[in-house]
Amino acid sequence: MTSSIRRIGVLTGGGDCPGLNAVIRAVTKSAIHRHKIEVFGVEDGFLGLIQNRMRPLAWADVSNILTLGGTILGTSNQANPEHYAVQRGDKTEFINVTDRVVEHVRANHLDALVCIGGDGTMTGAANLIRNGINCIGVPKTIDNDLEGCDQTFGFDTAVTTAAECLDKIHTTAMSHHRVMVVEVMGRNAGWLALHAGIASGSDIILIPEIPYDLGSICQTLAFRSRTGKRFSIICVSEGARPKDGQVVVQRRVETSPDPIRLGGIANKLAADIEAASGLEARATILGHVQRGGTPSPADRVLASAFGHHAMELLVAGASGKLVVLKDGRIGEIDIQSVAGKQRKVPPDHPLIQVARAVGTSFGD
């Protein structure tokens, strides 16, 4: 079936990451150049749909943005049409404004939406699909945790950034003979810590999927100290937790669809290591530096390919699909099948076996 699409909207939802602009560029230029389709950019993700803030995107608007980090459209991770926060007096209430979004989409004569984001954005897109709006999803997250997709764009750049930071910390750890605990992002999935940890030669990698034992960590550190290694590097995911323990929550944002903000496990772990082992430990939290900067060439290529495939799906008449990279090929799956799900690291993943084979500990 061939579609009769004449105008589409494109939005970026959730946290920012390198490569968003590359997708916007690919979608817009493919639409204009190959298919003569108008493109409207929705500002600040679903918030722009709720508040009816969108603007036409011309060829010139998306030129020279391929290498630019962030998103020219802006984004928001606190705008869920099904659970939208409104202030009434001194109270915050949550209402469903999906009907308002549908009205704005139709008033702007948008035949479909390209929604670029992670699991939260795809959950929002699934809601719109149920309400008659055609959405095509493009997978974005530095956490690489979107179900059904082997790799999302933004992940490669984040791994590169984290590994470079770990490399720099490696030299100061050697100089001062310290245990350096470096916290990376990832929420409930350990892909970023696993890849950055292996790439940097971290001595211990701690991920959410494998709860750690402090005693085991201290034994590893003591063994290294006895065998002439006067420093150690620990790469820890923000969602890592001790056995029979809890994750460290930095704060809660009650107006967000995902209110829990993780962060601070590195500080806790460094203090625990010093108390238990007597070794000097320092913590570094990389934070939002992992989201920023110029996308890597690999992410630019992947994002461009994703954007192109999204347009090909639309003009072929597809509805409710998510573009994915699976087994080395770009394809698509139903958005509904990934809504509300997260892809985590299997405990028997080949990369874990690789790390263990070269003596890396996972604290278990």
Contact, 332 vs 324, CB < 8 A? yes
Helical ranges in 181-244 per DSSP H: 191-200, 214-226
And the tokens for 224? 């290294």
Q: Beta partners for 42?
A: 54
Contact, 73 vs 42, CB < 8 A? yes
**Closest to 231 in 3D by CA, of 255, 254, 202, 209:** 202
Catalytic center residues: 143
The contacts of residue 220 (CB under 8 Å, 6+ apart) are 203, 204, 232, 361, 363
Q: Specify the 3-state DSSP secondary structure of 178.
A: coil
Q: Beta partners for 140?
A: 153
Q: Look up tokens 């984290």; give the residue.
A: 162
Q: CB-hemisphere CA count at 13 Å for 116?
A: 40
**Closest to 12 in 3D by CA, of 107, 153, 185, 127:** 153
Contact, 141 vs 299, CB < 8 A? no
Q: Helices H, strands E: what count in the chain?
A: 10, 15
What is the DSSP-derived secondary structure letter of residue 107? H
91-95 and 84-88 beta bridge pairing: antiparallel
In whole angstroms, give the CA distance from residue 309 to residue 124: 21
